[in-house]
Every structure is written in C-alpha cells, then in structure tokens.
Structure 1
Amino acid sequence: MKNLVLFLTLLVLSVGAGAQQNQIQQDSTKREKLDEVLVKAVRVDADSPITHSNVSKEELAKRNLGQDIPTLLNFLPSVVTTSDAGAGIGYSGIRVRGTDATRVNVTINGIPYNDPESQGTFWVNLGDFASSTESLQLQRGVGTSINGSAAFGASLNLLTDAYSDNAYAEISNSFGSYNTRKHTVKLSTGLINDHFEVSGRFSKIDSDGYVDRAFTDLKAFFLQGVYKDENTLIKAVTFGGAERTYQAWFGLTAEQLQEDRRQNPYTYENETDNYWQDHFQLHWNQRFNNNWSTNIGLNYTKGKGYFEQYKPEESASDFANLIEEDSDVIVRRWLDNNFYVANANVTYKNEGLEIITGLSYSTYDGDHFGEVIWGSDLADGTQIRDHYYFGDAIKNDFSVFSKATFKFSDVFTGFVDLQSRFVGYETDGLNSDRDEFVTDADFSFFNPKFGLTFKPSENNSFYASFARANREPNRDDFENGVTENETLNDIELGWRHNTEKVALSTNIYYMFYQNQLVLTGELDDVGSPIRATSGKSYRLGLEVDANVKFCKSFTTSTNVAISSNKNRDFTSSIDGALVNLGNTNISFSPDLIIGNALNFFPAENVQLSFLSKYVGEQYMGNVDSEASKLDSYFVNDFNVNYVIKPNKIFKSITLTALVNNIFNKKYVSNGYYFTYDDTWSDPNAVTTIEGAGYYPQATTNFLVGATLKF
C-alpha cells in the first residue's frame, strides 16, 4: 500500500508538471503516426537511456522464409537462439544476455504474450507471424515498464501490420531442405472512403525437421479491421492458429550424437504436441491535439491443447489405478486456458516534456488435466479418456505506471519510470505427478527506473540508467518449492554515435540479483527447464553494435557482447555433502557472442549478405562441471534478395534465397545437464553421477522463396 501511495503522489505531481508546460505552442510538437502510438507505452525512442535494437518489416522480410521469430532475431546483440527440431521451425527458443525466454517479456501491440503461469513464450503458436509484423523492438536489461510480467533480461515488443492506404494482394511461397514449405496469402482492401480497411493473412508451414520425425505442421491466420480519421484509430485484430509438432525435446546423449546426430529417441508414432491458440484484440487510439493522446487495448486469448505420450510398464498408482500394474499406457496431458487483458494509457507531450501514464489488468484461468486414451491392461471399469489428474489455476495481475521524459536543457534529458505491480496466484487440485498442488500467493512490487541522456552534439549521445525489477516464481518453481520472488538491479552506461556512414551503439551493463532463479540444466518430464534460487549473482558485460556504410554498394553490421556471469558463493550437493564452490558460471551464459553481416549491393534491386554468428562456450549447469559444457560454435549463412518491378500485372516480384550453415558446421546450441546420487553401488558411500543431453542443429540447408505483390 505504501508503494501505491508513493506512486499516486508522483503521478499527481507529474500531471501537474504537464499542465504547466501546456502553454508551449501545440504546433511545435511533432505529430506521431497513430499506429506507432499503439506501442508508445512500451517502447523507447532513439535517444532514451534504455539499451535497445529496432527491427523493421523490411529487415524481417529479407530472411522470412518460414523460420520462427527467434531465428530471425539471431543476429541481434547478446542473442542466442536454438531449435528443438534443429532447423528453426517449430519449438524455438531465445536467450538474451544469458537469460532464458521466461525472462524475456513479450508484448504484441502492448498486450502481454508470455504465458502467465509458465512465463514462457511459445513461438510455435505464432506461425509466420513475421509476415504480419510492422516492426519490433528488443530492449536489453530491465528496459522500460511493460505490461505483464517483469523483464529480467530483455523485453520484446511487436507491432502488427499498419493499415494500408492502398489495396494490395500478396502471395509468398518458399521451399527448402527437410521438405520445408511455407505458403502465405495476404490482402488488403486499402482505405475505403478514406476511413475503413480490412486486411488479412493466411499461412501454412510444414517441415520434416532436421531431427528424425521432428515434423512441424502450422496453420495460422491474421485478420484486421481498421477505422481511422485524422485523430482516431480503431483496430480490431484477431490472429492465431493451430500447431502440431512431433516431440524432439529429449535430445541425444554424447554417444548418440556421435552415432547419428539426426536420430530421435522417441519411437511412438504419435508422440506429438497439439495446441490451438486464438487472440482477439481491440485497440482505440485517440489524439485530442498535438499534446494529448490516449490508448485503450482489450484482449481475449483462448488456448487449448495437449501432448500425447506413450509410457511403458507404468505404476497403477501414478494413473489413479485406471490401469493394472506394469501396464503400457498412452496418455494426453491437457491445458485449457483463458486470458483477459485490459490496458489503458494517456500521453502528454510537448517540446520539453513527455509523460505516459497507464495501467494494465489481466486475469488468467487454466485447467490442467490428464486422460488415459489407451492401455495394454486397463483396470476394470476404466473408460477411455478417464482423467487421472485435474488441477486448476487463477492468476490476476494489476500494474500501474507513469514514465516521464523531460529536457533539462538542449543537451540533457532525464527519464523517470515508476511502476507498481500486484500479482495473485492460486492453484488447486493435483499436478501431473498426482501430488496435491495448492498455492495461494500474493506479491506486490515497486519497480523504479531512472536515466539521464547527455547529447553534446548532433552525432553523439551518452546515457546512464538504473532500473529495478521484481518477478514472481512461475508454476514450475512453485511445484519445486520456490515461493520467494527474485529481484534484479540493472545499471547501464552507453554511448551512441551516428553519422551518415557510421551508426555505433556501445554500452556497459551490470545486472546484480537477489534470489535469481537460474536454470539448473535439468528438465522436467515434459521438457520444461527446472530452475533453482542461486542467492546472489551478477551479470557484467560490454555490448558494441556498429553499422558502417563504406560505400553505396557495401555495408557491414557487427555486434559484440563480452560478459562475465557469476553465481556468488554457490553451494551444491556433491557426493552426499553440501559443498561451497565459490563463484561459478551461471548456466547457459556464454562470455562472448558475436554477430556480423557483410552486405553487398551490386545493383539497386539486389542484396547479397554473408551472415556470421559466434557463440562462446557455456555451461549447462551452475557447478562448472566439464560434463555440462557446451562447446563454442561459429556458423555462417548466405542470403540473397532480388526485387523485380515489372511493368504489368505485378507491382513487384521478390526472389529470396537463404543458405544456412554454409560451411556445414556440426554444432549444438542447447542441451541439458543433470545429476543423481548413486547410493547402491557402494552402500557406504554416496557418489554423484552426471549426465547430459544435446540438441543438434542442422548442418548445411537452404530455403528459397518468391513473393508476388499485386
């Protein structure tokens, strides 16, 4: 309550300051596009003291041949991506500054996308979403206040397609290795009577995957209706689809990797994940004058699906005695959920001041249950699809924030961002292990952020910022006995230099944590990473992002991230004793990440790009064990874009080719690490046994495509 009172007091003061500045001429304020106002509350501008990267629709299109959004972002600073199926289609993941996807807060048009319970982002449910993305911004570190759960390594916000003044139609088809196909149709009516537009996209993506039988079958759609006038934009947006993927999360042992890196340990023909997710959004942007604008966003997301699994010789008690002891069984584990969101914010802006104040409320309810669909020896009276466990969950999330950017002088700009967030999480019933899972937890957080930008010249600016974020445990953490929140303090110092030929952004960050939930390296029985509290820890790093234009026909884009990521005084149980290992490396946190692109433009409508990615060695656990180490890797891709503008029928024809891993590197970008205690080989001793699994990524493969625009 004290935090809320403090926040409201500062809010009143900030509004008062805005009213005093209202005397400045309104026509001196630059008018923004109403589409951009849609994400104004969660984005930052070029001179803000927040470390970020922007990606436009045009940049995404150059490699958009069916791979998931994480793969398309692979060459951004401090980013590491991976794919279960090995080819960037299906279940893909992204880590930023070593933090996993549960810490990357994702919003779509300002609406939270992360699953409220697991806090993860499942890009497999957004097939071909890059084809409906107008732009995106990746903020590294805590960033600015966002809706939904707090960012602990990055926040990624996507803006969907802007309205089109003119009617168009677009057909895209691509084909490639592993029987990969993407088929997309887009269309728009253009503005009818200068006010109304209807547009849409329908996509189908299929791939057999690099890993044996790790197929992906995605069906996706995006529909949008728009009303606009000079000061009003109303958007009704719906998108979603269905995914069906064969499981590939079990990985391979080191021996299997050497034997046949494309093999899949799963043999049951329908070991598949099946999920449907549909989103419905309504946005109303209103600009009252050059100073005042508002945005209201509403969302409903419906998700439902299951994964099917074959289990041999199971215990009857694990399945509510629906089977006889040692029966083989096939089960489906279901998730059926609803997610509602309401956002509202108001913006005041003039030459010297911008204030955005907003609130967000979301509520989530999800049912978790399992059903038996077959058994080699069912118990008497068992019916197919009888439930062997059932549990439900409710999560409510309310946040209120106010952020202000104000000019002290021609060279100094300040930034203040204050957020209060209140979370309630309740569960009841049984979990998938048939253990009672009852939770009733409440959290209240105050997340302040401060920054200062110094711009001594048009070409140079320097910034410094401090931000704090708090984050509640997710469902798996609660199941593993973790009930405390984690806290992150983030200090950023940066320099930006921009000229006609050079765009340079460099920054130093120090992120220090209390009760950070680090990945242990282990997986649960559905492939989700297990986390544990590490006490005190930190991430210290330097990031450099440079774009150089040597001449009209040759440019380079290079980014380098050097970091040290440590758990302080880390303890672990080894051979039956609790051992203090001192400072250890945080799992999945490479010390060196380099991305590079060499771009050659031999003609106005032709681009050739040679893309390189280096990721240093990393540990999959937190005990610095050699058994948990992933080797470094260096992978190169080659990308060609050729745009033809015929005089008839088509507005343009774009031909695209992408050769991934052109030098045929056999590498692993992800895996898992586990230990267990051997107490039976020697009854008088405890011996800790280590093991690891690996996710092999595709060797040389290609994708080619054509986009026809009418």
Structure 2
Amino acid sequence: MKKLFLVIVVAYSVQIKAQQKTDSVLAHVTVTGLSYEAKSVMPISYSSVSRSRIQSLDYTAEPSSVLQTLPGISYSTDNGTLFGYSYFRLRGVDQSRINISLNGLPLNEPEDAGVYFSNLPGILSNSSSLQLQRGLGLSKNGSPAFAGSLDFETFAQQTNYTTIGIGAGSFNSGNIYAEHANEKGNDQFYYKLLGIKTDGYKYHSDNTSGTAMFQWQHKMKSYQLQYLLLAGSNKNGLGWLGVSDSAIKADPRSNGNSALEKGNFSQIVQQLHLTKTITPNSSIHAGIFYNYTDGEYGFDLYNFLGFGSNGQYLKYKTKSSYGGALIDYNYRSTHFSFTTGMYGSFYRKYHDGINEPTGTTAYNNYGNKNEFSPFAKLIYHVNKFYFFTDLQYRSAAFSYHGDATLPTFKWNFINPLAGIGYQINKHWYFYISSGNIQREPGRNDIFEGNDNLQKDANGNAVYANLAAENNFSTDAGLRYQDNKLSFALSAYRMQIEHAIDLNGQIGPTGVPLHSNVAEALRKGIETEIHYQLNKEFLLSESFAWASHHIIQADINSVPVLTPTVISFTELQYQKNNFTIIAQAKYQAKSYIDFANNYSMPSYTMFNLLMKYDYRKFFFTAKWMNITNQTIYANGQLNVWGKPIYQVNAATNFFAGIGIKF
C-alpha cells in the first residue's frame, strides 16, 4: 500500500502542475509503438472492438461478456455469473496459452501464464478498445501467443466529462462507479473508481471487488508521455470445483468447494510510455511496467477428496513482483514499414502454505523467471501486394528455491512468421501466412499440480520434465468491406508437436492440469459478419467450425473442452436514443477428458440487452439466458476419475442507471 500511496501522490502533484497551464484541446493520443496491433493489410486473422461497442455490451462484467461475441470463443465462470473468476478459450485452447496484454505490455504472469481478470475488476469497462488476434499473429511481449492474443487499450479515452452510475440485478449483484476525464493544457487526465458485489449463482461463491484507475497523458510537438496506474482487489467465495451431474440436476446452484475456501487478492499495474518522433517517417517508443500481486486462498483437502469438510484446510499465500521494459523503433515510407525492438522482464513469486486453523507453516518457496526477446517486423507494399515478415528470438529461464533441489530450466526459441496479402479491389483483400511458435511448460504442470515441489523416498525432487510445445500454424482468409457489409472469413491449421494440452484433471491448487501429447492437429474455419440491413437494424454473426484431434500412442481423440461449432448471432435495433440487442448463442458438445468418455451437452442461449438515453441520463437493462437453460460451461475429472461439471447461471437480470455530464 505504501507503493500505491506514493504513486497517487506523484500523480496528484503532476495534475496540480498541469492545471497551472493554459487550457487547450488535446488531440487523441494512443501509444505510437503499436508493433503488436494488426492492421487491415496484414495477413492476420483478427477482430477489433471499439469503445462504443464495449459500452453497448458491458456492465462492468468480466471480459467474456464481450469476447463471447467473437469467432471461436467459449467461456466459463467459477460462480456462474460474469462477476468474479471467469476464463475464456480460443479455438479450444485455454487462456494460459493466449498472450494477454494491456497497452501492449504483458498481463500473463510468467510462471504459469495465468491472468485473473477478477484481480482487476471492470478491466473491460476501463478499455477504449480491444483486439483479439487468432493464431500466431504478431510477435508479442511476454507469454507466447500460442493460440492467439488479446490486447486491451486504455489511452484513447474521451475528455472533459464525468459519469456516475449504479446497477443491481439477480443474486444480489450490484455495481457502483464514477469516472472523470479532463484536459489541462498539454495534459489529459482520467480517473475511475468501481465497486462490484454479488452473492454468485452458486452457494457461498460471493464476490466483493473494486478497482481504481488513473491515467495521465502529456503531449508535446515531438514526444508524448503516458502513465497508467490500475489497482484492484477482490474477495471471493471459491467455486472452481465442479459437482456431479446428479447434483446439478438436484440443485444447479450446488458448489463443489466448501464454505471454508475463500480467496482474497489484490493487484497493482503501473505503466509508463514515452514516444519520441525522430523524423516525419520514424519514431522510437519505450515502455516500462511493474505488476504487483498479493493474496491468499483456502484449499479444503477433505472436501476435495469427497469426504466432506472437517474444519481443517491449507491456506495458499502468494506474492509476486513482475517488471520489464520494451523499446522499439518504427520507420514508415510509401512502400515500406519496419519495426525492430527488444523486450526484457524479471519475475519473482513467493509461495507459502499455512495450515489452518492452527496457523502453522507447512512450507515456503519462491521462483524466479526472467525473459529476453528481440524482434523485427517488416511490411513491403508493391502494387496490390503486401509482403510481411515477423521474427522473434525468445530466451526464458526459471529457477526454484525451496526444500527440494530443482535444476534451472532454460529455453531458447526462434519464432518466425511470414505472409502475403493481395488487395483484389477496393472491397476485397486476400491473405495467407504461416509460421512457427514454441512455448515452454508452466510451473504448475512441471510440479504436477503441487504448490510445493514434492520429493521421493530418497529426497529427490519429483517433477514432470515436459518438452516445450511447437506449433506450426497456417492461416488464410478473405476480408470484404463496403458501406453496409463487413465480412471476414479465415481458415487455419495448427500442427502442434509435444502439445501441452488440458488433460481434464485439476490439481490441488485449483488450477487445471496439462500433459504432453505426441501431436495435436487443430484446424477449422471462422467467419465474422456485420451487415447494416437498414438505418435502424444491424445484423452480426460470428461462426467457428473446428476439427481438432490429439494423436497419442495410436489413440486419436478430440481435445478437452473443444466444441465443434460455436455460433453467436446478434440483431441490433437503434433509433434515436433507444437501442435493443437480441443475442443467440449455440455451442456444440465438448469432451472433458482425454479418452473422450465424458462430455458436456450442447446448448443454445438467448439474451436481450436494452439502453435508453434521456438528456444526461442513461438506462440499461440486460436479461441473460432468457429460456432458463442449464448451461454446462466447464467440466473436469475429480481425484477419483469421475466427471464433475460447472454450470452458468439460470435466467438472470441486471439493470443500471447513470448520468454523464
């Protein structure tokens, strides 16, 4: 908290100094070094979501509320609602294998590449835009973009306004927030406070969380400075453990976790960006970041084993520091665009186990992970052709310090991508790209799900020496754009050696487990359509078809949690100050275990969203799961190899009112 207090004092003093200057209009500023953002002429499959689109769908909920509208996205939540822990998958791949960043700087924690949005509640509502790249995409900083990447942008906020809002809904859910943006001279400031509360759909799966955000942007003739402080906290009744199908049928609000299992986490993210224009065609960008986390959660072993709770549990405590820097040089000319740079980071995370209720220490350990990656990207434009190449070298090392000795793991990867695009005419664009990316295993999988490294009878460390996975990927697609129609179609093929895939099991830390498989083949088709039927009606459709297989010891099976079809349809009506959006989602069945013995059924879900603006006031209402379907969203095998499931909430409502002035 001392660190947070210091940066708030500094931010306040910066604003006081800025207010002494003459007022002027500050031009819209974004981070110039967007070496990670896909453009329309790049051979990349991607979807971009604007701030207005985010505002029409979001209600300070988890990012899945908007991500589910994009091709190939499935999601699940721990407590059944979109307030609290939620997770998304892209092309059937879990989010630990997806690069997630904020303004181009990493959010995935390096040990296991996890991102817990509940630590930063409302991160979506804080964003000015987001971009999801499917497939390898552009080289990224931090965790490899194995199945894709997701970036949140925050620096393109509007100026000179204040918004105050409050909302309430099912399961005693509610939110309250206030934001303010203003300009003073060459400086722009943005503040936001947000609080969220819900009891959760499941029993004892409540969430109480909040976030504070401060941004400062300073622009001069040849340079710009941008600073971000984002601090969040959450308290949760845990709900990551599924229950049997019979328990769901008896009471779908059943929670596999015991009431003793609670979590309490906080996170602080700080970023500073400097962009300097060197010539009209060139610029240099530098960004530094520091992420700090601190928290704890309970694990009830007797409940996990199915014996019921006996009042004793293990408290996992963690604390981490993650910092790094990015520098890149950008050059553009009529036919040529070039970016080169380097990224480096350090990371340390402490792990402690405390026996409760006695409070005695069971163990403590910590790990370090450092990374370095130079990169270069080139686009050459001649006639109607766009030639693209992207090359990254990535070096990472992990060391462990505890009561067992573990050798230091070191990885060195070269990740190339090349592609070509062709502008058929002013409406049609064709592209194809192919590349290779490698990714190391995470700490949780190396430790076989244990938080403290286990030892055998001779005192030697017991761990899984997993191979790094290697993804050879090809994407090809068509894009069409005119005044009424936006259309994108892509096909992909991912051939993965030594794939580190979900195996359907879950470890005692609550984190899903992965295993090496000899080969995984993922291929499919994705499409995204937006068609303006007339002045009032907009029809949107995202569709994904997948044919995925795991080949291991002559066994051919479908990967875990990988539905064959995901479809999301939306019809929007907008006239004057009134907007209504009808949504329909279909998701095919998916398997929850390697052997494909157990599956989750398909489902169709309908939602209705409404918004009305009256002068300075706005009113919103959302009705989710209108037909009250039992939606199986996640599945696992328990410690005895039996299937257990998690379901999303039954029909539910959320309404809000706000004022903007």
TM over 0.5: yes
Secondary structure of 1:551's counterpart equals coil
Contact 2:28 2:156 in 1 (8 A): no
Give the whole-Å Cα distance in 1 for the aligned partners of 2:658 and 2:332.
40
Secondary structure of 1:344's counterpart equals strand
- The partner residue of 2:269 within 261, 279, 301 is 279
Q: Which runs of 5+ in 1 are unaligned?
A: 1-32, 316-325, 376-384, 431-435, 572-579, 647-651, 677-689
Measured at CA, do residues 38 and 478 of structure 1 come closer, stay the same or move farther in structure 2, by a change above 3 Å? farther
Contact 1:359 1:400 in 2 (8 A): yes
Measured at CA, do residues 457 and 327 of structure 1 come closer, stay the same or move farther in structure 2, by a change above 3 Å? closer
Are 1:640 and 2:610 matched, yes or no?
A: yes
Measured at CA, do residues 528 and 429 of structure 1 come closer, stay the same or move farther in structure 2, by a change above 3 Å? same
Contact 2:170 2:653 in 1 (8 A): yes
> Which residue matches 1:382?
none
Contact 1:63 1:658 in 2 (8 A): no
> Which residue matches 1:41?
35
Give the whole-Å Cα distance in 1 for the aligned partners of 2:303 and 2:430.
64
Are 1:705 and 2:651 matched, yes or no?
A: no
- The partner residue of 1:694 within 642, 645, 661 is 645
Measured at CA, do residues 624 and 245 of structure 1 come closer, stay the same or move farther in structure 2, by a change above 3 Å? same
Alignment of structure 1 residues 434-513 onto 2, 5 Å: 436=404, 438-480=406-448, 481-513=464-496
Give the whole-Å Cα distance in 2 for the aligned partners of 1:313 and 1:617.
29
Give the whole-Å Cα distance in 1 for the aligned partners of 2:550 and 2:299.
37
> Which residue matches 1:584?
557
Contact 2:106 2:142 in 1 (8 A): yes
Q: Which runs of 5+ in 2 are unaligned?
A: 1-26, 449-463
Alignment of structure 1 residues 560-571 onto 2, 5 Å: 560-568=543-551, 570-571=552-553
- The partner residue of 2:378 within 384, 392, 404 is 404
Measured at CA, do residues 267 and 146 of structure 1 come closer, stay the same or move farther in structure 2, by a change above 3 Å? closer
Alignment of structure 1 residues 203-242 onto 2, 5 Å: 203-242=194-233
> Which residue matches 1:422?
395
CA shift, 1:175, in A, is 1.0
Contact 2:33 2:285 in 1 (8 A): no
CA shift, 1:599, in A, is 1.0
Q: Percent identity?
A: 25
Measured at CA, do residues 364 and 450 of structure 1 come closer, stay the same or move farther in structure 2, by a change above 3 Å? same
Measured at CA, do residues 427 and 671 of structure 1 come closer, stay the same or move farther in structure 2, by a change above 3 Å? same
Q: Which amino acid aligns with 2:479?
A: R
- Please provide the CA RMSD for this pair: 1.9
> Which residue matches 2:10?
none
Give the whole-Å Cα distance in 2 for the aligned partners of 1:499 and 1:238.
39
> Which residue matches 1:526?
509
> Which residue matches 1:132?
126
Give the whole-Å Cα distance in 1 for the aligned partners of 2:408 and 2:54.
43
CA shift, 1:327, in A, is 8.7
Give the whole-Å Cα distance in 2 for the aligned partners of 1:229 and 1:630.
56
Give the whole-Å Cα distance in 2 for the aligned partners of 1:209 and 1:313.
20
- Per-residue CA deviation, residues 248-288 of structure 1 (Å, 9 max, x unaligned), is 111111111111110224443x4211111111111111223
CA shift, 1:34, in A, is 7.2
CA shift, 1:402, in A, is 0.4
Are 1:664 and 2:656 matched, yes or no?
A: no
> Which residue matches 2:498?
515
CA shift, 1:693, in A, is 0.8
Measured at CA, do residues 662 and 349 of structure 1 come closer, stay the same or move farther in structure 2, by a change above 3 Å? same
Question: Which has the greater radius of gyration?
Answer: 1
Give the whole-Å Cα distance in 2 for the aligned partners of 1:342 and 1:297.
6
Are 1:102 and 2:102 matched, yes or no?
A: no
Q: Which amino acid aligns with 2:528?
A: D
Are 1:355 and 2:338 matched, yes or no?
A: yes
Q: Which amino acid aligns with 1:233?
A: Q
Give the whole-Å Cα distance in 2 for the aligned partners of 1:490 and 1:170.
45
Measured at CA, do residues 111 and 389 of structure 1 come closer, stay the same or move farther in structure 2, by a change above 3 Å? same
CA shift, 1:67, in A, is 1.5
- Per-residue CA deviation, residues 13-41 of structure 1 (Å, 9 max, x unaligned), is xxxxxxxxxxxxxxxxxxxx873334611
CA shift, 1:314, in A, is 12
Alignment of structure 1 residues 51-130 onto 2, 5 Å: 51-130=45-124
Give the whole-Å Cα distance in 2 for the aligned partners of 1:230 and 1:653.
38
* Comparing 283-292 and 114-123, the one that deviates more: 283-292
> Which residue matches 2:177?
184
Give the whole-Å Cα distance in 2 for the aligned partners of 1:59 and 1:349.
31
Structure 1 length as normaliser, TM-score? Answer: 0.84
CA shift, 1:197, in A, is 2.4
* Comparing 87-96 and 34-43, the one that deviates more: 34-43
> Which residue matches 1:608?
580
Give the whole-Å Cα distance in 2 for the aligned partners of 1:313 and 1:596.
40
CA shift, 1:630, in A, is 0.7
Are 1:145 and 2:109 matched, yes or no?
A: no
* Comparing 130-139 and 437-446, the one that deviates more: 437-446
Contact 1:282 1:298 in 2 (8 A): yes
Give the whole-Å Cα distance in 2 for the aligned partners of 1:374 and 1:674.
25
CA shift, 1:76, in A, is 0.6
- The partner residue of 1:621 within 585, 588, 593 is 593
Contact 1:39 1:109 in 2 (8 A): no
Give the whole-Å Cα distance in 2 for the aligned partners of 1:565 and 1:634.
22
Alignment of structure 1 residues 362-401 onto 2, 5 Å: 362-375=345-358, 385-401=359-375
Q: Which amino acid aligns with 2:531?
A: V
- Per-residue CA deviation, residues 205-252 of structure 1 (Å, 9 max, x unaligned), is 001111112101111111112211233220121102111110111111
- Per-residue CA deviation, residues 73-113 of structure 1 (Å, 9 max, x unaligned), is 11110000111100111110000000001011001011110
Secondary structure of 2:255's counterpart equals coil
CA shift, 1:71, in A, is 2.5
Q: Which amino acid aligns with 1:200?
A: Y
CA shift, 1:395, in A, is 0.2
- The partner residue of 1:594 within 545, 550, 567 is 567
CA shift, 1:663, in A, is 1.1
Alignment of structure 1 residues 537-552 onto 2, 5 Å: 537-552=520-535
Give the whole-Å Cα distance in 1 for the aligned partners of 2:492 and 2:168.
41
Contact 2:100 2:108 in 1 (8 A): yes
Alignment of structure 1 residues 22-41 onto 2, 5 Å: 35-38=29-32, 40-41=34-35
Secondary structure of 1:186's counterpart equals strand
